[in-house]
Amino acid sequence: MGKKRNDPGKVHGLIRIDKPSGPTSHTVMRQVQRGLSAGRSGHAGTLDPMATGLLVVLLGEGTKLSRWVMGCDKTYLARIALGAETDTLDAQGEVLSEVAVPSDALRPEVIQEALLGFLGEQEQLPPIYSAIKRDGRTLMDRARAGEVPEVSARQVRCDGLELLGVEGHELLVRVACGSGYYVRSFARDLAEALGCLGHLSGLRRERVGSWSLEDARTPDEVDIDQVVPIAECLPEMERVVLDAENVENVRHGRRVSLDLTTDEAMALDASGRAVAMLSKESEGVWRVERGFRPS
């Protein structure tokens, strides 16, 4: 007999994948799910088909961690080509305009000065070709259908920008940023700040939260031993071990009384297995945000 429709399977947690250039994040995610015979899967942050690097794939009950993992800070290695603007803001798009690259735009000291203006909290205009939804449809789908969707600026955060090199008309920049930051938009805006046009010609994600690319494997190399258990998936999250009575309470969605100093916590049972994600409702009172079904 096949799996029931809502059966999460027997593989739960996350696995770090080094996504190759070409396939979509969804395609890679499904390949990993099949390779590990997981009941269901998700991923914590899309990489465009052109992009490579760390794709965090969530498996089984681990898919319930999506909100928390997607909210993690990220680090990218970005290659920015000056001199041409594309409709998608990356190398896969159609060239819209081309200009000569001013010599000053390639001087490291000028680039360093420009980078300072992109640090901290700021408004950023997302690409038209993006997965942002409006009225149930993505901007990308609307653009591909010939529409000119209205794009609103969003508040984003950039924590670090490091110029690693200048190669011809390309800049190599390491970008440390918060969730929702578009490196494609940054490439466009940096080029503008340097007095020309530009687009993202290469992107590799190096880090998602505390997870780095160093321990990632290609989709063809996945093994069950590489799956991180749910209880270890959010290493920076507060953890609380519940007694047997509160484990039962949480399993049934009941509120529990706990003395914690944070606003969110992962609840474990006495054996160290994840039971639920909890949120503080009021002083000493915690509610279940997402419960994990025992395998």
Give the sign of the dihedral formed by CA 29, CA 34, CA 36, CA 42.
positive
What lies within 8 Å, CB to CB, of 212 at 6+ separation is: 54, 206
User: Quick count: other Cβ atoms within 10 Å of Cβ 186?
Assistant: 25
CA separation, residue 49 to residues 24, 202, 205, 219 (Å): 5, 11, 12, 14
Catalytic residue of the set 18, 48, 189, 269: 48
CB 18 within 8 A of CB 54: yes
Annotated catalytic residue 223: no
Q: Provide the token pair at 66.
A: 């999506």
Q: How far apart are CA 200 and CA 183, in angstroms?
A: 8
Q: How far apart are CA 104 and CA 239, in angstroms?
A: 52
**257 forms bridges with which residues in the sheet?**
285
CA separation, residue 163 to residues 50, 167, 263 (Å): 21, 11, 37
Q: How far apart are CA 115 and CA 162, in angstroms?
A: 8
Amino acid identity at 163: L
CB 133 within 8 A of CB 143: no
Please identify every residue annotated as catalytic: 48
